[in-house]
Chains A and B, each alone.
Chain A
């Protein structure tokens, strides 16, 4: 029996739904797992069921954390999980690289609060809420910036397959690692390695015939649409391997993060674009596009308002 604790920090819940999407294999795994704490489906409270105890998460063999760190409560919960869990797994791109919420790192906290409580169209302007609620941190942090993480599963959300494989490996005491290949390596589209004249925004459809095999469709980037496949780690396709966005005939936006730890998608993409003769400066909103899911460790910073 493996004791599992699960927490979500500044999260959207998509990574938790992905756990449910494991489907039938989940039912087979269940008898081997004992969930000791998981607020999304279980009633265990931090301060006891009637609020009578000290802050507490039970001990567990495996801890799963999704979401980024946005406020001091998130940091406190992450630290408690680190203390109580033998193996800590960061699930999803928010936990690993900040994810979409880290786009907020392009703005100061004050600027964000001003927008939400004073400037949005329907809001009757007021002071920022401050009573009985956790103050927000200066920026968004990934879980791995704050506590040591033993294993990171990328993706927004990650895949049911990756979660299941990781849990099985942990159950069997076997090592688990991710491949260091790009989305392009698994993308079935056809590449001709010819130069592209100009880069397009996805305002029109990619060229393909309905029902046509992916192998006969030209690489979207070679059709002129920006695709982050070259700089993104593969894995999103799960068992059938075809990258998820490619299945919908839309370009990759990098949700699986860098191909290997520490790689910089911005630099990798500049290289990939130049190799097909494209000038990255044509891209509107480059900074946020290349760092859409990886906005921590200084990749996205507030810039002076023009």
Chain B
């Protein structure tokens, strides 16, 4: 028995390692994606005044802080029992589109892009964004600029792009001015131009090269979860739709998530495994998975009946014609992500054209009470659920959070196993082939932030935590 350990998994957000076990013939016996993802937010948010949570929980992830900020604000709205003013809803969604632009551009071009632009087997020293900057400098400049524009849009709207505090229980803390709207419109338009370019560029220069790989690579078959509003794509608001692998689906409001989702624990990863309760169990067997569903871009593209903006809708139709519904191929996550990038830019332009966007009445006062509230949004990485319960002073008693990546935990493990089985044969492997295994992880754009990885499990270790004066302040025994 031989083990290959890939550590750290790179060009993803956060920390993980992959353990691949080979049998005596050198074929893959088993694989695991080990995640030391223990934030403990569910514990240390308890006791805090609930209105502080939208300012604390964004620190779960600096790449998608807006998703946590908004899910948390929505959970607080529900706890306080307040219906927020219409303009607050629009401003939240507008900022969220800026955020999606940053996040999707970052993932497609900076994190995953090097595999496609430089080739999956390219030497690891150039297979990164700096390599891209040298190979296609103009595109690289535009990529960095568009991502930055997305961030700046959120900064204009909220004062702060990372870990914002502008969305508050009851609405939004400050209105947007007419001058700001003029600036934002220009920025959104430039993002839309880039999104259009990116889609065409990928369809012409990237996907065709890898279409064969895409069609045969690590196939698995699962259900999908995403948010819809009247059947259409919506990232900020709507009902949840759970679709099974055969394309049948059921819609339910976010606050009923517990009827549909439970979480399973495995001993080899801190990350839990959500699964579809109604399936009657949990199994990651490749030939007969039970309870497994996926979230994130491909899931959303699969569950929606339509996309309410014209360019993205046209792309959805073309995508469906090529790959059907639900499309199962893992690498199609990238394609779906670019459709969503278009949607986010189109939707930002649309919201900015609404004259009501400068309405100054952005916030309602709230009063603490004992209650429970659930807030759900579609994070860039999948359905994000925040569930809070408070006492009569509005102090937090209980918290449950299920993040986008966690829903994909089982599917990521299955995809890695399938990819490893496909590329490692008779003990032969190299960095390029192992990178193909990592690509199965990157497709999901996982965010394992706050997580770290492990020491080689075969060596017992003892680590003394020593301060800089050389005194042992703690020791840890493996």
Give Cα A267 to B170, complex, Å.
32
Nearest chain B CB to A303 CB, angstrom units: 10
Contact B455 A107 (CB under 8 A): no
B11 within 8 A of A: yes
Residues of A contacting B381 with CB < 8 Å?
none
Interchain CB contact (< 8 A) of A76 among B274, B400, B455: B455
Residues of B contacting A123 with CB < 8 Å?
262-263, 265, 272
Give Cα A292 to B477, complex, Å.
29
The 29 sampled A-B contact pairs (Cβ below 8 Å) are A10-B450, A12-B61, A14-B65, A18-B162, A21-B151, A46-B7, A47-B5, A71-B476, A73-B453, A99-B59, A112-B38, A120-B42, A124-B263, A127-B267, A129-B266, A132-B19, A133-B35, A133-B454, A146-B465, A146-B468, A201-B368, A203-B365, A205-B363, A210-B175, A245-B159, A248-B174, A253-B55, A253-B165, A288-B47
Residues of A contacting B262 with CB < 8 Å?
122-124
Contact A117 B400 (CB under 8 A): no
Give Cα A221 to B310, complex, Å.
48
Residues of B contacting A120 with CB < 8 Å?
42, 263, 399-400
Nearest chain B CB to A15 CB, angstrom units: 7
| SS class, residues of chain A in contact with chain B | loop
Task: Please give the residue numbers on chain B whose beta carbons come within 8 Å of chain A beta carbons, in ascending order.
Answer: 3-8, 10-11, 13-15, 19, 32, 34-36, 38-40, 42-44, 46-49, 51-52, 55-56, 58-63, 65, 106, 110-111, 124-125, 127-130, 133, 141, 144, 147-148, 151, 158-166, 168-170, 173-175, 177, 257-258, 261-270, 272, 274, 360, 363, 365-368, 387, 393-395, 398-400, 402, 429-431, 434-435, 447, 449-450, 452-457, 461, 463, 465-468, 473-474, 476-478
* 7 smallest beta-carbon distances between A and B, as pairs: A14-B62, A247-B159, A248-B159, A126-B265, A49-B431, A148-B468, A43-B124
Give Cα A208 to B363, complex, Å.
13
Contact A71 B265 (CB under 8 A): no
Residues of B contacting A239 with CB < 8 Å?
none
Contact A131 B457 (CB under 8 A): yes
A134 within 8 A of B: yes
Contact B144 A20 (CB under 8 A): yes
Residues of A contacting B4 with CB < 8 Å?
50-51
What's the A-B contact tally at a CB cutoff of 8 Å? 323
Give Cα A50 to B434, complex, Å.
7
Nearest chain B CB to A207 CB, angstrom units: 12
13 additional contacts (CB under 8 A) given A107-B44, A137-B465, A248-B173 = A39-B15, A50-B4, A51-B3, A71-B452, A75-B476, A122-B402, A132-B19, A133-B457, A141-B465, A146-B473, A244-B160, A248-B164, A288-B47
Task: Please give the residue numbers on chain A whose beta carbons come within 8 Å of chain B beta carbons, in ascending order.
Answer: 8-18, 20-21, 23, 26-27, 30, 35, 39-47, 49-51, 55, 69-77, 99-101, 103-104, 106-107, 111-113, 115-117, 120-127, 129-139, 141, 144-148, 156-157, 201-206, 208, 210-211, 244-250, 253, 255, 284-285, 288-289, 292
